[in-house]
Structure 1
């Protein structure tokens, strides 16, 4: 081990005068020293990180506050385990970050650039020989890291959280059906499957802290294909079907109970008190009334059986990006029988090559129905018409689902890229703000966020129209913000584009100058009022 030397006693004229083994801090990094960021870069990144964390906390808490309020209304006093509630809050938090991180990117970029510019630090850096692109690159670097983070959340973690949230909602419905009851609203079968024979709904005036219901009404009705109303679909009369009320149960009080059934399994039912039952017999049209004003009755909710229907049972927001693309390809051209919910096609012996193949099959069935109607084979026509109706509905559903998957894929890429675009915009905006303060920074951020989400939401809705490309909605907001960013960068800063780009955009600047000169000459010709 070499003897330590006090450098204060050493006069150094060249590196040969240094003590043996002398090293400075950067020498200890060896070959990695070239990757160590400079002190100035670290300083600028810290200036961005601080307002970023504040803005992220602010926007995230707004979203979480809405979720917490909903959770309190649903679960306080309902008997749900506290740790399951924390799991659900974790899923909500994971789904909130892809929305709040881009907002925080814009806010933090404007505030950081505004502070550096307002305190004349950027001027000092430029006077010291630091180039404009070097300062700007720190903002773009931070935006690139956020783009990767939001990309991971959108591609993998977000869909997993969405799926778990839906599983949690399904668990709530089986754990305690009363949790799904909204006071003053009917709740029950919102939609009916194609083969459903019955429907039911339940109303409650309120639920107290102990789970006791008040003013309960349960309605049950039969669904049939018979009916007198028809609609025209492709010049064919399609029966609308009908329904008949079978039972109405009305009670002043209700309570959820658990008991053993005939199979020895526990099942939940609603114990009703102080009420009556009105029943209709569809065969005899007779009405029966049962009074239990001085007694009670248990209403057992029939278990919902899994029925195979010819419908696409997939939601794009629950799939990771690779699975999303795989299912999209199956809907588009590979094979509809591979999609979850359409396994029944295999039982029918049908192999449909995407939306195009399904459209050809529908046209074929339509032709066969017309030919069968002219030949008089009514039974065969009825069977083919039933299958034709299902396939026609499936065709419309497939088109909407395919559009939904394409829009979702574009959203998965457009949202992460917005982080980079927001940092591209925030730096020139921050330079414009200068000494106006944080209030002006916040106002500008809110204005541009409103512009972004107006185009994003409005455009996403337009993408579902038939003649509009799927990419227009998700990417329109990014295109608008990027265009504004380039304009502000050119007009409000001394940043210079590469000569090749400047030459191509020269006509814009020349046209703008001519318009300004013409406008000034026109104003000078107008006589001023004395």
Structure 2
């Protein structure tokens, strides 16, 4: 049963989700339109057909936009709650973060189930109808498809090439291959310019060419090659028209033509297709492997092919084999182990025949292996695409939950509402997710990893990130506080901030100014000793050997903190304000510099490490020297102020003593005779 907190969180999340999902959905659909705008614009498509294509495309891209919308909405929701301190109030009321996230997690779980059902049923119909309309419109106006510098083969029997094409449709430097009479009898046309025009009935095309020349054989060719010359003609023309029968009306493709593709199959159909293609793939690989092994073995143990029916050839080959065996027996032992020695022992004719046979065998084996590889790639393509689509029906649903586990804790950590920061973080994780997905897709195509691992790789990488962020944000861990990292790097590069000392209106503890004067003198001596120490005055390369001087810096820093703690109770506003001018000195020169000099010497010889660190120490030492100078000036000013306070205190005490003596009766009686 939902409580008030659950209704409040849902009421905050749902408007933001509607807005973010709509924006992400619109961006993804516009990306599709920008990609296929050339195939849709100028094809004579009606407004209704274009709206149908956009609608089906929008339905097809819901699985891509929904996880991004959930990530952005969860970031904005918990960022707004944190910025308005509502999240802090809920935690103070005893609600942990996972309890606040629970209603949204259940809601997104329901969305994931609905998304799976949508992908398994409704999206299939939308994808089939969308690609049917896109493919139907692709061949509606072929004159709009011609691209500069690319052969266009969209018209059956013709191949057109244009070096330049104007927006009006005029093409320059044309080359046309007319293969309507067969590939053995082509007609090649070259023209300076031309146009491809569609008639009003949209049943044929007119190819208008200007200032060109054509090549055409006068006699039909055949597959039988002959050395007899074939007559041809090269007529030139100023203007030529070629009528090409081509129906350019929009003929809608049959949706059943896409029935064999993976986009038109649901989960059960994909299971059947995967099982069928897996068996086909395994059997094809087994047959190919046996055939290649058999060819390799026969090639390795091959012998002369004796002609059984031709007795003369058999006797001749037998005599050659016997002579070759005798030469091998008479050869030296070290020559028998050398394969090239066989060619030396044989005649030139035998050697040439052996080499030619070996080259022919290798070429045949190479061609067979190439053909087998193409067959295997074709079989694996169907198995891979069916398997990818099967896993994709689950990965998008799981990605919704993972993106929520990332977005909600990050929003609670960042505590910034609005659109700016959530959009940046959402785009970052979205890019990381689809980059990993593309990487896994490329690896599974090469069979480097299994199909399931390639499809689930992005989810497997981001799921630990989401669980870690949820755990840390629920524990209110400071390790995810951005300000903590900023302070760390500021300290690492020498920026330690300003000392914060507040004036106390009511001071209970009395300040011992005499002891403070002694402490100030001691601190001035320590500051000057440290400033003139080898750590700050020797050449920068000797910093590694003077690491022991860090103890002086630690003592000075501790003494300054004690001084500030003792003088911050002073009633003098000027003295307390001067304490703020004391720099915050570190406890050591750098955590990267060893305390012992011998280890520093050893590290100084590690050049890939010591050179950049020495440059870093140089900058750090310059900054610390400036702090020591500021410390010295501030201590002198504090010393003067303390002495001034002491002087004023002594004068005030003398005045009080004088006033006390004047009001004493004994002292007044002693002065009476003198006055009389």
Identify whether the pair has TM-score above 0.5, normalized to the shorter chain.
yes
Distance 1:218 1:165 in 2: 33
Q: What does 1:209-248 align with in structure 2 at a 5 Å threshold?
A: 216-220=174-178, 246-248=186-188
The CA deviation string for residues 21-72 of structure 1, in whole angstroms up to 9 with x for no partner, is xxxxxxxxxxxxx6xx444323211211222222222222222333344555
Residues 1:201 and 2:201 are matched in the alignment: no
Residue among 107, 122, 126 paired with 1:157: 122
Q: What does 1:128-277 align with in structure 2 at a 5 Å threshold?
A: 128-188=93-153, 200-204=158-162, 205-206=164-165, 216-220=174-178, 246-251=186-191, 252-257=193-198, 267-274=203-210, 275-277=212-214
Partners of 2:76 and 2:417 within 8 A in 1: no
Distance 2:59 2:306 in 1: 61
Cα 1:434–1:302 shift into 2, 3 Å:
closer
Alignment-derived partner of residue 317 in structure 1: 263
Distance 2:444 2:196 in 1: 47
Deviation at 1:411, TM superposition (A): 2.2
- State TM-score, norm by structure 1: 0.65
Residue among 46, 50, 54 paired with 1:81: 46
Distance 1:88 1:436 in 2: 36
Structure 1 stretches of 5 or more lacking a match? 1-33, 191-197, 225-242, 261-265, 304-311, 334-353, 378-384, 497-519
Cα 1:468–1:66 shift into 2, 3 Å:
closer
Distance 1:73 1:475 in 2: 34
Distance 2:113 2:6 in 1: 20
The CA deviation string for residues 375-434 of structure 1, in whole angstroms up to 9 with x for no partner, is 999xxxxxxx99998776333311232123223322221121100111112111111111
Name the SS for the 2:461 alignment partner: helix
Partners of 1:221 and 1:245 within 8 A in 2: yes
- State TM-score, norm by structure 2: 0.52
Partners of 1:105 and 1:423 within 8 A in 2: yes
Alignment-derived partner of residue 361 in structure 1: 287
The CA deviation string for residues 60-99 of structure 1, in whole angstroms up to 9 with x for no partner, is 2222333344555444443222211111111221122211
Distance 2:30 2:200 in 1: 38
Structure 2 stretches of 5 or more lacking a match? 223-228, 249-257, 309-365, 478-586, 596-619, 625-676
Deviation at 1:457, TM superposition (A): 1.1
Cα 1:439–1:355 shift into 2, 3 Å:
same
Partners of 2:53 and 2:134 within 8 A in 1: no
Q: Point out the structure with the larger helix share.
A: 2
Name the SS for the 2:160 alignment partner: strand
Larger Rg: 2
Cα 1:409–1:446 shift into 2, 3 Å:
same
Cα 1:259–1:365 shift into 2, 3 Å:
farther
Alignment-derived partner of residue 24 in structure 1: none
Name the SS for the 2:450 alignment partner: coil
Alignment-derived partner of residue 232 in structure 2: 287
Distance 1:161 1:436 in 2: 36
Distance 2:372 2:67 in 1: 42
Q: Greater shift after overlay, 248-257 or 387-396?
A: 387-396
Deviation at 1:112, TM superposition (A): 0.3
Alignment-derived partner of residue 53 in structure 1: 18
Deviation at 1:294, TM superposition (A): 3.4
Name the SS for the 1:249 alignment partner: strand
Partners of 1:214 and 1:253 within 8 A in 2: yes
Distance 1:89 1:324 in 2: 27
The number of residues matched between the two structures is 407
Distance 1:319 1:220 in 2: 40
- Tell me: higher relative CO, structure 1 or 2? Use CA pairs within 8 A at least 6 residues apart: 1
Q: Point out the structure with the larger strand share.
A: 1
Alignment-derived partner of residue 327 in structure 1: 273
Partners of 1:459 and 1:476 within 8 A in 2: yes
The CA deviation string for residues 152-204 of structure 1, in whole angstroms up to 9 with x for no partner, is 333233333332233223312443333433345322279xxxxxxx9752234
Cα 1:174–1:217 shift into 2, 3 Å:
same
Q: What does 1:457-496 align with in structure 2 at a 5 Å threshold?
A: 457-494=438-475
Note the aligned Cα RMSD (angstroms): 4.2
Partners of 2:406 and 2:466 within 8 A in 1: yes
Deviation at 1:250, TM superposition (A): 3.7
